[in-house]
Amino acid sequence: MPVTVKSQILNAAGGALVPGIAAAMCLPIVMFSLMGYDINPAFVLAPLIAIALLMNFGRTGLAYLSAGVMGLISIMVANKVSADGELIKHVFSMVLIMFAPSFLFLGKYISKSSDISRVFYWLSLFSSLFLIVVAARIFYLEQDVRIYLGPFGLAAMNAEFLGLPVFATFGVLSLAYLVCLQAMIICGTLIAGKTNKAVSLLMWVALFCATFLIIGSDSRSAQVLLVWIVGSIVFYAIRNSDYRRNALIAIIAVVIAFAVTYARGMDGGRMVNSIEAISAQKHWKKKADEFATGRIELAIEGVKEVVASPIIGSGFSGYGRYSTEGKSQALIANTSTHIYYLTLLWKGGLIFFIPFMAMILLNLKSAITGTKMTEKSPERFFAWAAVLMAFGPMAMAWDILIVPSAGAVAFFLFGLLGGLKNQVQKV
């Protein structure tokens, strides 16, 4: 097939796929339930991801598949060492961990046929529709953003989209972090200024809604990430004088959201309450763990179990796979260390962790190389800002990159950056 014909086919396919992919990832609506987990439309993209992986297979894809194979070996060996009768559950745990990273290959595939500005446009558009509808309902009902559900006080956002519940099985952070990423994407499109006035106004309102939802979510880490978002806007404006007016407009949306939240009766929230609660504690470890809502204990126990089984990990089980001695029931009930990279090592051991991290590093190298080869743009900058935010502070605060909502968006953007060289080759 001639190169020009092949290029035309890719362009046509990419043009049709991008809106559908953007809708599936930015409208996290519950579709059906499988084994107790709420499933969002991102799962429908699985066949397309498989095609993207095969059409873009290379060292990165080989590392990804190797991690999957090594993960299965980890499960089988751990089951031989300490069978717990939940082999299928551990396999599904590995599949869930591997699903969000597969969006990296979808991003690389889409980069062949669509410029990053076009991808950002559709992601921003569907994100805007989602954020505005969710926030408008909360304003209309005069509710606070966050409510508590269940006998144990487990938190979830009171977010609905046109009467449908939002995918947030894994807690409030699943949605709060997605909103942070959506806000960053919207900033890229809004500051680029390539849309008409009506769409720009829509995205400005959406950025206001995103800030409102983040502040009200009572997720302390998400609130801190607002500093990252605003800092990214300010940094870009300082470096690029042509976009300072649009950047100022974006910051105004954030400031107004703070003012509206305060006017509606914003109190100290968990951030202030947590600081006040731990101020009376004398032991530094207890102070830190109370502020981190148990994360210190989870991390310490996770490290201990990694040291005890560094090669095969826990076989994608939870705490106490090999010994429950000295562990509380609350700890054993957890299935995560809340630090993404530690969770990967703890779950699958070095045989899984090494090829998985090789996949990330190989794509990082491609992204850095592609960035040097392609033209600067607000979309490219805010894609990097979103990826660094997701793989940095987000990943260190919670295992968000496992969740097929924010995690899928983060790996998709990472794949787009990793495929930037395709734009140069296409030209």
d(CA 22, CA 284): 45
What is the average pLDDT score of the chain? 85
Q: 235-244, 322-331, 374-383: lowest mean pLDDT where?
A: 322-331
Q: What is the pLDDT at residue 6?
A: 44
Percent of the chain residues past pLDDT 90, beyond the cut: 57
CA-angle at 419, arms to 190 and 233, nearest 5°: 25
Q: 47-56, 130-139, 186-195: lowest mean pLDDT where?
A: 47-56
Position 82 pLDDT exceeds 60: yes
Q: What is the pLDDT at residue 112?
A: 86
Q: 40-54, 148-162, 329-343, 396-410: lowest mean pLDDT where?
A: 148-162
Position 382 pLDDT exceeds 60: yes
d(CA 390, CA 407): 8
Q: What is the pLDDT at residue 426?
A: 55
The closest alpha carbon to 222, from 409, 19, 406, 378, belongs to 406
* pLDDT tier for residue 171 given thresholds of 50, 70 and 90: low
Position 272 pLDDT exceeds 60: no
CA distances (Å), origin 15, targets 110, 157, 395: 9, 34, 32
Q: What is the pLDDT at residue 395?
A: 94
- What would the 3-class secondary structure string for the chain be? CCHHHHHHHHHHHHHHHHHHHHHHHHCCECCEEECCEEECHHHHHHHHHHHHHHHCCCHHHHHHHHHHHHHHHHHHHHHHHCCCCCHHHHHHHHHHHHHHHHHHHHHHHHHCCCCHHHHHHHHHHHHHHHHHHHHHHHHHCCCCCEEEECCCCEEEECCEECCEEECCCCCHHHHHHHHHHHHHHHHHHHHHCCCCHHHHHHHHHHHHHHHHHHHHCCCHHHHHHHHHHHHHHHHHHHHCHHHHHHHHHHHHHHHHHHHHHHHCCCCCHHHHHHHHHHHCCCCHHHHHHHHCCCHHHHHHHHHHHHHHCCCCCCCCCCCCCCCCCCCCHHHHHCCCCCCHHHHHHHHHHHHHHHHHHHHHHHHHHHHHHHHHHCCCCHHHHHHHHHHHHHHHHHHHHCCHHHCCCHHHHHHHHHHHHHCHHHHHHHC
pLDDT digits (tens, 9 = 90+) for 219-242: 888 889 999 999 999 999 999 999
Tokens of 171: 């807690």
Q: What is the pLDDT at residue 71?
A: 97
Percent of the chain residues past pLDDT 70, beyond the cut: 83
Q: What is the pLDDT at residue 1?
A: 45
pLDDT digits (tens, 9 = 90+) for 1-42: 444 444 444 455 456 789 999 999 998 887 765 555 667 888
Position 356 pLDDT exceeds 60: yes
d(CA 80, CA 218): 43
Angle between helices 172-192 and 220-239 (to 10 degrees): 10
Position 102 pLDDT exceeds 60: yes
